[in-house]
Amino acid sequence: MTAALALTGVTLLHGDGDDTVTALDDVTLHVAAGQMVAIVGPSGAGKSSLLAVAGALVAPTRGEVLVAGVDLATASRRERGRIRREHLGFVFQSGNLIPALTALDQVRLPLTFGGVARPRDPRALLDEVGMAHKAGRRPHQLSGGERQRVGIARALVTRPQVLLVDEPTAALDRHRGPAGPGDARPRRGDRHGHPRPRGAPPLRPGLRDVRRAALCGGMTSGPPGDGHPRHGDATMTAMADYQVVVAAGTLRSAAAGAVPWPHRWTAEGVTVEADFTGAHLLHLAAAGCVLNDVFREAQRLGTPVHGVRVTASGGFDSETWRSTGVTYAVDVDSPANPDDVAALLRAVDAVAEIPKALRAGASVERAG
C-alpha cells in the first residue's frame, strides 16, 4: 500500500552551535489514504514542527518527506509550493486569515493560484462549517472559533490529498450540539477527507478511524513502545508489511477474505484478515491480544465500547529469519469522551501480555 504521506528519519534543527535546538529527532511516520492520525504530546514536543515539515512549510535538516511521489526534503522552493497548492491542505492553529479578505474570499483564495483539478464550492463549504451567514465578514469581525471554522473551509476547498490540522478546534464551543447554530467542529469526513453534511456526528478523537501517534521531546513514541520514547519508532505506518487486521463488534470486517473466529468478549465473534506465514502469525498474536485486552480493560474501567479493530504489521529479515519489529494501531468505536478512550488505550498498552513478552525478549524453545 502506498502512503499518502511518508516521513522517514526526519530531523529538524533550529539554530547552530551551542544554541542548536532539536525540534524533531529521527521521526518516521507513514499515513495511508483514508487514515486519520492524531499526533499527541506535551507542549514543546514538536507537534507543530512535524506538521510544518509534512506540509512543505519547512524543509527538514535530514530525512525524507514524500507527498505525491515528491521528496519535499530535496524539492525546490517552487516544487514545494506546487505540492502545497495541489496536494496539501493546512489548518493553522491561529487561523492565519488575511485581514483584508472576507470569509468567502479567504476560502476562494487557494483557487486563485490555479492547478486545482476539482475544487469545491466555497459557499457550500462555509455552509458546512456553519459560516454561510457570515460570508461577507472580515477576520476582525469574527470570533476566534469563527476564524478557525473559516480556516477549516479554506483548507478543504482544493480537495487535498493530505489534510494537516494544528489544533483546529481549540477555540470552539465543545458543549453545543452538532446541529446547533454556533457549532463549527469539523464533522467526520468521508474516505477522501471531505466533510459530511450538516447534522452529521462531530469528529471526536478516540473514535473509529482515528489512530494515535505520540511525540515526546522531538521523538516518536507509542505502540509498540516500552513506555520510553525511542529514536525512529514508526508509531503509525501505512506500509502493509505482513499486515493483519483483527476486528470485533461494530468494526467487524465484511471483506471477502475475512475469517470469523469465536470470541469470548463478543457474541458475534471476531473477523481475522491474515495470511498463514510466520510473520503474519506473529503480528496476529499481538493484534489479537490487544483486541481482547481493550474489551477486558474497558469492562474494568467502565468505558463503553461498541467495536474494536487492531491492525498490526512489521518487517521480516529473510536473511536472519528475524522480525524487525511489530507496530499496531487500535481503532475504537465508543460513545465515551476522548479522554476516557485515551486512558483505556494507555491501560491496554501497559498490560497487553503478548506485546509485553515481545518487548522483553521472551525465551521460546522447542521442548525435548
- Strand runs (DSSP E) across the chain, as ranges? 3-14, 21-32, 36-40, 62-67, 70-71, 88-91, 162-165, 210-216, 219-221, 244-249, 259-261, 270-273, 307-317, 322-333
Domain ranges of the chain: 31-210, 240-359
Q: What number of other Cβ atoms are within 10 A of residue 39's Cβ?
A: 22
Contacts for 121 with CB less than 8 Å, ≥ 6 apart? none
Using DSSP bridges, classify how beta strands 162-165 and 88-91 pair: parallel, antiparallel or unpaired. parallel
CATH architecture of the domain formed by 240-359:
2-Layer Sandwich (3.30)
H/E element holding 351? helix 338-351
Using DSSP's 3-state secondary structure scheme, residue 139 falls into helix
What is the pTM (predicted TM-score) of this model? 0.51
Q: So what's the pLDDT on residue 30?
A: 86
Query: Phi/psi at 104 (nearest 5 deg)?
Result: -65, -40
Tell me how far apart the alpha carbons of residues 110 and 128 are, in angstroms, rounded to a whole number.
18
Q: Tens-of-pLDDT digits for all 368 residues of the chain? A: 567 889 998 999 888 777 788 888 888 888 887 777 878 776 677 888 888 899 898 889 999 999 988 999 999 988 988 888 888 988 887 778 888 899 999 999 988 887 777 888 999 999 988 999 999 999 889 888 888 889 999 999 988 888 888 876 555 554 433 333 233 334 434 433 333 333 333 333 333 344 555 555 444 433 333 333 333 222 222 223 578 889 999 999 887 778 999 988 888 899 999 888 888 899 999 999 999 999 999 999 999 999 999 988 877 666 677 777 888 888 899 999 888 999 999 999 999 999 888 888 888 888 87
CATH topology for 31-210 is Rossmann fold (3.40.50)
